[in-house]
Structure 1
């Protein structure tokens, strides 16, 4: 098998969350508990989702148009509101996260995408994909821990 194709396939699996798909974990998280901030933390599941999405969006923009989106690591966005207004807002945010993730995966899987080409900022499309999976994985781990503390799982 071609090494580049293998890398694209491996990135796709990891972007989805590997053995614990991120979208499934988010959908399992109870809306009634997504706004709870546990003692000692500065974030709820809702805040984590907003933060994950903001970083994914900036990296997706870079992946879609690297020449015009060089600022791939802007200041961290942490939503001000700790909980969504409605269950629909929570569900829509998860849906949007999934749509954005599918766009990332589409770019990674496109054989025309030059995933190793070094851009003017010194980064590559493969770096952006790995950064998304690493950043998301870190915060999904936090979300999973919060969920366990709150009795979601």
Structure 2
């Protein structure tokens, strides 16, 4: 039979493990998202391949919009009840400049780091059910799942365009 100390210690270990795994996956796991985005040639970021309705630039804008919504929920859960509004798909399919492409990636990375800081912080209760029935861990997992899906699309587009 475990003592109270052993139970608390085990719970703290589990909490630390979950936080570390969430951070690893938010960063992109074995294929870090920010590195992949920085490798993408901005001159090809506006190309829409036959059969698709998006370019790499549109995907980046869509990823950021969803991440911003979920980050806002994580920062102020009581004020952000609608965490899954209609998907935002940018109308312009091409960055205006290399600078705009890199600024968007920098903003994505900064927002991602904010989310990671919240996940890493032991004072953040990842599992408290919020007024909308969601948890902060749900928001982090939704972010990594959504981003991973679209990063896979971006990687496929890049391969078709000769980026990699």
TM-score normalized with structure 2 length:
0.92
Structure 1: gaps (5+ residues): none
User: Residue 70 of structure 1: CA displacement?
Assistant: 1.0
Structure 2: gaps (5+ residues): 1-9
Query: Residue 78 of structure 2: SS of its match in structure 1?
Result: helix
- Specify the alignment match of 2:82 in structure 1: 71
> Mapping of 1:61-100 within 5 angstroms?
61-100=72-111
d(CA) in 2 for partners of 1:49, 1:77: 11
d(CA) in 1 for partners of 2:39, 2:64: 18
Asked if residue 135 in structure 1 is aligned to residue 146 in structure 2, the reply is: yes
d(CA) in 2 for partners of 1:19, 1:114: 27
- Specify the alignment match of 2:5 in structure 1: none
Show CA shifts across 1:76-95 (max 9, x none): 00000000111100000000
Q: Which runs of at least 4 in structure 1 moved beyond 6 Å after TM superposition?
A: none
Aligned pair count reads: 153
Let me know the Cα RMSD of the aligned residues: 0.6
User: Residue 122 of structure 1: CA displacement?
Assistant: 0.5
- Specify the alignment match of 1:25 in structure 2: 36
Query: Residue 130 of structure 1: SS of its match in structure 2?
Result: helix
TM-score normalized with structure 1 length:
0.99
Larger radius of gyration: 2
Counterpart among 125, 133, 151 of residue 122 in structure 1? 133
